[in-house]
Each structure stands twice: as structure tokens, then as C-alpha cells.
């Protein structure tokens, strides 16, 4: 079944189930109200005839009411789950149509000075990250961003490819992974404060001493309460509760500090626990997935231990409710017991948490790549080689352009110290082609399938100079900003020539003669180091370098066709130098008399 048909079928099925459960929830809500009100009414009517009958009727009504409350909550949980599943599949359908605005932008990961991510739209509103990302936890989003910002080693790429291929057909499992995160309000929170607490020193040092005192004072308070119930004056509670208050108050600052460190992490931990439990229970075969899964295995499952921490944090948050907190602490010192339990948990498991969260994040990141692979069954897992330099692609297109509008091209370049000069008219597709090569290389180096029918690429440093703008904050012009960018490219190529460089309109901020002279010098310098550069330009003189450096220069172009002063672009890459341009015609259409 095609992805479109699969998502449409799932969306319709989950929508029907959501509607059914919504109606059931409404009926249960009405039944709950009727049971409670009816029980009180019957009690009021029967109490004048028989107290026993009235009490029995009220007890039955309360039991039925409690059952309806539990049933309602269970039904609501199922309804929310199916609603999320329906929404996930609806968003995937929109994604297949080219609208992936329903997912995270990853703007927080954007770096203007990154070697390639800014130029290639890796992060942002219309970005590769947004197209791929299906993570729900912050650690997983961070890990996916790392995939796209830094190439993995070849061995790691091969392991990821195998893992992604295994997860690709597991649509039910992948969507359940997303749903578990979405269902919990804290799923997207940053766990950094919690991680900071795990590294901090204990606030309660003499735990045995604290336990003995709290137990003794609690027993004394209970004895006083019992004595009051049996008839002694209530005044005996004043000194007992006064001592308890003083003891609690001396620990109040420590309790507040600990509560501040872990407060509101309960939902986050609950989400992580359920996600990890889903991972623990899945039988997997690829080496990377098995290795990640092994991080959760011990005598007690990692999900269970995290769930325990979630409950402890949630119980400590009870202190925010004064009506509950005051009696529990004056009589039983509940906050102190919870703090002691939290710090005991930390001492026993703090060293394991980073590994658990890292493995969970890796699973979510790989599941995002698998989701992309499922959405694009025609894409291929690339051959990534350590040989330098190879770039061979058949029917390669830009991943973010919908399949119905995507124009694919085949392209090959081999050997070190080369410059591929791409000429063409305005809007003919030069810059898009450079980005197509770059984005597919990023996918390949992340361990993902690429938008091509065949793809082989050398594992190299990727560096680009395409989207250059001035900076008011740094008080620099766009020309100087480009020079800084080119200086970084030159320095990198000089120290490590195994690079694939993407350069769009070199030195565009200066006059044509200086631009040509500087561009020629830069191309010769880069190829002299042994690097490989792809250069998009309007300047046909650069293409003439092929006569001077036939072993180092390869020319390609994108053409434009004109019919009755109308422009037609076929976006097809063709060997050789462009011979047609469209600037004059475009200016005429804008009203400029040329």
C-alpha cells in the first residue's frame, strides 16, 4: 500500500474511533452526574423510612459513581490516544502534499556560521529538519539536529542505515512512540533542570537520623490525636504539633530547594518511562538497535525505575496544595520522607539516567529517519565511501520539493582537485541544484535514504557559501561577510582538502572585473589544494577556465527557452556552457525599457 493510501486509511479509522469514544465519554459523564445526584436524592427520600436502606442505597450509588469515574477516565485516555493518532496521520498526509508546517521547525538549532546548515536550509520554517523531525522529547530533537549538523563515521552510517531500514515498515510502533510523547503535557519539556539535580549534592545528609526523628514525632502526634478522640482536652495537641512544626520549618528551605529542582518533571518522566517501555518490549534485530536497547536492560527495567521517580516527584508536588500539605506534614512529615526517597533514588540511579535518555533520544531520531524513508519508498540508501572524491547520483531531486513538482537530474563527478562550474540564466535552477547535492549529502552522512534512484558519495567535509547577508549587529557588509566565509573555506581546504564545497555567485558584492579575478584565483587555489568545488555563476568567463585547466574544470548548465517572449524552464542539468540568458526579458516584463 502506498504511503498516501496508508495514512488516509489510518486517519479515517482513527477518526471514527475518536468519534465513538467521544460519544461514550459524553454518556459516561451524564451517567456519572445522574448517579451522584440520584444517590443523594434517594438517600434524602429513604432516610425518613429507613436509615439502613438509605445508607445502603447511597453506598451503592457511590460505588457506581466511582466505577463510572474510572471508566470515564479510561475512555478519555483512549479517546485522546486515537485523536493523536488521527492527527499524526493527517499531518503525514499533508506532508506528502508538500505541507510539513505541522512539525517542529528546529529554529533553535540554526547557526549562521555553521559550515553548511544555514545555506542548505537544514533548520527553520521550510527546512530539512522540519520535514524529517517526528521526535517528541527534547533530547531526541537535539540528537536529530546533531545527525544533520555533523557527519557520522562510515561505520556508524552503515549501522544507522540498517537500523532505519528495520524501523521503516513498523508504522504502528513508530506512531505509538510519537503518541506516548504527545499524550503527556511535559513530554516536550527540557530535562536539563532534572539532569542538573542528578549531578548535585544531597541536601539531606544524615538520612538515618532524619528518619528516626520523623517516625518518633509522627507516633507522638498520632498518640495525641487518639487521646483527644478518646476524650482528653484538645489542648494537648498544641505542644505536640508545635514541636512538629518547628522541626519541619528547620528543614523547609532544603525541601523547597529540592522541590524547585525537580518540580513539574513528573509528566516529563512519565512520558519518558512509557516511551522507554515501548522500546524495551520491541523485538529488534539490527546491531545498533539491539545495542541501544541493551542500555535499558537490568534486573529492574529502566522504564519502571523512571516511573518510580516520576511518582516521587509527583508526590512532592502535593505540597503545592495547602489543604493536603499542612495535615500530611504536621502529622507525618510527608515532604521530608519524599525528599529522602528522592535522594536515595538519585544515589542509586543517577549514573544510569544519561545513558537511558541518550538511548531513548537515539531511538526517536532513528524513528524520524525511518518515517521519512516510509514516506518516500522510491528513495535509496546511499553508498558512502571513504574514497576521495566520488559523487554519482541518478535521478537526484531536492527532498523538500513534492514528488509531483520535483525535477530530478543525474550527475557524476570523480577525482580530486576539481571545480564543477554550473552556468545558467536567472531562476533556471543553479542554486537549487547546488542545494540538492548538499542536502542529499547531509542525508547520506546522517545515515538516511536520499532522494535519488542511485547515490554514491565520498564521506567528506561539506562547506558552502551561498546565502550571504550583511549584519547590522556586527556592523559588517555582505561583501565582507562573504570574504569571512571564503576565508573559513580556504583555511579548511588547506588543512583538510577532502571537502565538497558549494559556492553560489562568488564575490557578488564587488564589480565584475574584481569578481572575475577573485573567482579565478579562488578556484585555482581550492583545486590546487585538492578540494572539489561546485560553483554556480552567471559569469561565462569562469566557464572558459576549462580551456586553461582541462583536467580540473567541468562545465554544466541549465538552459532557458523563450516562446513569444514567455520563459520556459525545464530545470535539466546539461553538460557544457549556457548560451541563453533571460535578464533582459525579465526586466522588460517588470516595465524597464531595455
pLDDT of residue 70: 93
CB-count burial class (<10 Å; 0-12, 13-18, 19+) for 530: middle
257-261, 445-449, 588-592 — which is least confidently predicted? 588-592
Tell me the per-residue pLDDT of 220-275, one tens digit each, with 9 for 90 and over.
Answer: 888 888 887 887 787 887 888 888 888 888 888 888 888 888 877 888 888 899 99
67-76, 178-187, 446-455 — which is least confidently predicted? 178-187
How far is it, in rounded angstroms, from Cα 388 to Cα 386?
Answer: 6
503 strand-pairing partners? 465, 535
**Averaged pLDDT for residues 70-86:** 93
Looking at every residue in the chain, the average pLDDT score rounds to 87
Size of the chain, expressed as the number of residues it contains: 594
133-137, 412-416, 512-516 — which is least confidently predicted? 512-516
**Averaged pLDDT for residues 34-48:** 85
Q: At 474, is the pLDDT very low, low, confident or very high (cuts 50, 70, 90)?
A: very low
Helix, strand, coil percentages (3-state) for the chain, rounded to 5, are: 60, 10, 30
Tell me the per-residue pLDDT of 287-299, one tens digit each, with 9 for 90 and over.
Answer: 999 999 999 987 7
**Averaged pLDDT for residues 492-505:** 91
Q: Which residue has the higher pLDDT, 171 or 559?
A: 171
How far is it, in rounded angstroms, from Cα 522 to Cα 490?
Answer: 8
pLDDT of residue 165: 97
Tell me the per-residue pLDDT of 90-140, one tens digit each, with 9 for 90 and over.
Answer: 999 999 999 999 999 999 999 988 999 999 999 999 999 999 999 998 899
**Averaged pLDDT for residues 47-76:** 88
**Averaged pLDDT for residues 164-185:** 89
Tell me the per-residue pLDDT of 336-357, one tens digit each, with 9 for 90 and over.
Answer: 888 888 999 999 998 999 999 9
Per-domain residue ranges of the chain: 1-94, 138-202+251-315+332-368, 205-250, 383-589
- In this predicted structure, the answer to whether residue 587 has a pLDDT above a threshold of 60 is no
What 3-state DSSP class applies to 101? coil
pLDDT of residue 268: 86
pLDDT of residue 584: 59
Q: At 334, is the pLDDT very low, low, confident or very high (cuts 50, 70, 90)?
A: confident
Q: At 583, is the pLDDT very low, low, confident or very high (cuts 50, 70, 90)?
A: low
pLDDT of residue 44: 84
- Is 383-589 a CATH 3.40.50.300 domain? yes
pLDDT of residue 164: 97
- In this predicted structure, the answer to whether residue 566 has a pLDDT above a threshold of 80 is no
- In this predicted structure, the answer to whether residue 314 has a pLDDT above a threshold of 50 is yes
Output the 3-class SS for 178-234.
Answer: HHHHHCCCCCCCCCHHHHHHHHCCCCCCCHHHHHHHHHHHHHHHHHHHHHHHCCCCH
pLDDT of residue 122: 96
How far is it, in rounded angstroms, from Cα 536 to Cα 418?
Answer: 14
pLDDT of residue 471: 43
- In this predicted structure, the answer to whether residue 386 has a pLDDT above a threshold of 80 is yes
Amino acid at each position: 500500500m502506498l504511503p498516501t493510501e496508508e495514512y488516509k486509511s489510518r486517519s479515517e479509522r482513527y477518526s471514527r474511533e475518536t468519534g465513538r469514544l467521544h460519544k461514550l465519554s459524553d454518556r459516561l459523564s451524564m451517567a456519572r452526574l445522574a448517579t451522584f445526584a440520584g444517590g443523594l436524592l434517594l438517600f434524602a427520600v429513604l432516610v425518613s423510612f429507613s436509615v439502613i436502606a438509605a445508607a445502603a442505597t447511597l453506598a451503592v450509588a457511590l460505588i457506581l459513581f466511582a466505577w463510572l469515574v474510572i471508566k470515564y477516565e479510561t475512555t478519555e485516555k483512549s479517546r485522546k490516544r486515537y485523536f493523536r493518532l488521527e492527527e499524526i496521520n493527517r499531518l503525514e498526509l499533508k506532508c506528502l502534499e508538500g505541507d510539513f508546517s505541522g512539525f517542529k521547525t528546529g529554529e533553535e538549532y540554526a547557526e549562521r556560521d555553521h559550515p553548511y546548515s544555514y545555506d542548505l536550509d537544514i533548520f527553520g520554517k521550510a527546512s530539512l529538519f522540519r520535514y524529517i523531525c517526528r521526535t517528541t522529547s527534547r533530547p531526541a530533537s537535539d540528537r536529530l539536529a546533531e545527525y544533520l549538523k555533523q557527519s557520522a563515521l562510515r561505520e556508524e552510517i552503515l549501522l544507522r542505515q540498517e537500523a532505519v531500514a528495520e524501523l521503516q515498515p513498523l508504522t504502528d510502533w513508530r506512531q505509538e512512540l510519537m503518541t506516548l510523547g504527545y499524550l503527556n503535557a511535559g513530554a516536550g519539556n527540557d530535562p536539563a533542570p532534572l539532569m542538573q539535580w542528578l549531578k548535585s549534592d544531597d541536601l539531606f545528609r544524615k538520612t538515618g537520623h532524619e528518619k528516626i526523628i520523623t517516625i518518633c514525632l509522627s507516633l507522638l502526634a498520632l498518640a495525641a490525636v487518639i487521646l483527644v478522640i478518646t476524650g482528653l482536652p484538645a489542648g494537648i495537641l498544641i505542644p505536640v504539633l508545635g514541636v512538629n512544626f518547628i522541626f519541619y520549618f528547620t528543614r523547609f528551605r532544603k525541601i523547597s530547594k529540592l522541590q524547585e529542582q525537580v518540580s513539574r518533571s513528573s509528566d516529563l518522566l512519565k512520558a519518558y518511562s512509557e516511551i522507554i517501555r515501548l522500546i524495551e518490549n520491541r523485538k529488534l534485530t539490527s546491531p545498533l538497535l539491539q545495542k541501544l536497547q541493551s542500555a535499558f536492560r537490568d534486573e529492574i527495567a529502566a522504564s519502571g525505575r523512571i516511573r518510580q521517580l516520576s511518582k516521587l516527584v509527583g508526590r512532592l508536588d502535593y505540597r503545592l496544595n495547602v489543604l493536603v500539605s499542612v495535615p500530611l506534614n504536621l502529622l507525618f512529615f510527608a515532604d521530608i520522607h519524599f525528599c529522602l526517597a528522592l535522594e536515595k533514588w538519585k544515589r542509586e540511579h543517577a549514573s544510569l539516567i544519561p545513558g537511558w535518555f541518550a538511548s531513548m533520544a537515539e531511538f526517536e531520531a532513528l524513528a524520524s529517519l525511518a518515517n521519512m524513508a516510509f514516506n518516500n519508498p522510491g528513495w535509496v540508501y546511499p553508498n558512502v565511501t571513504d574514497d576521495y572524491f566520488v559523487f554519482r547520483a541518478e535521478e537526484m531531486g531536492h527532498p523538500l520539493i513534492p514528488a509531483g513538482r520535483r525535477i530530478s537530474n543525474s550527475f557524476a563527478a570523480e577525482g580530486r582537485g576539481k571545480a564543477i562550474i554550473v552556468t545558467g540564466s536567472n531562476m533556471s535552477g543553479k542554486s537549487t541544484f547546488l542545494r540538492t547535492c548538499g542536502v542529499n549529502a547531509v542525508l547520506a552522512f546522517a545515515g538516511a535514504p536520499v532522494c535519488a534512484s542511485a547515490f554514491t558519495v565520498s564521506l567528506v567535509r561539506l562547506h558552502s557559501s551561498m546565502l550571504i547577508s550583511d549584519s547590522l549587529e556586527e556592523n559588517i557588509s555582505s561583501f565582507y561577510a562573504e570574504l569571512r566565509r571564503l576565508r573559513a573555506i580556504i583555511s579548511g581546504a588547506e588543512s583538510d582538502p577532502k571537502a565538497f564545497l558549494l559556492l553560489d555567485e562568488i564575490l557578488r558584492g564587488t564589480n565584475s572585473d574584481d569578481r572575475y579575478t577573485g573567482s579565478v584565483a579562488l578556484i585555482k587555489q581550492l583545486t590546487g589544494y585538492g578540494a572539489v568545488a561546485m560553483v554556480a555563476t552567471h559569469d561565462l568567463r569562469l566557464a572558459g577556465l576549462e580551456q586553461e585547466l582541462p583536467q580540473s574544470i567541468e562545465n554544466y548548465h541549465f538552459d532557458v527557452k523563450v516562446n513569444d517572449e514567455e520563459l520556459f524552464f525545464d530545470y535539466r542539468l546539461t553538460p557544457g556552457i549556457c548560451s541563453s540568458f533571460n535578464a533582459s526579458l525579465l526586466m522588460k516584463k517588470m516595465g524597464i525599457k531595455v
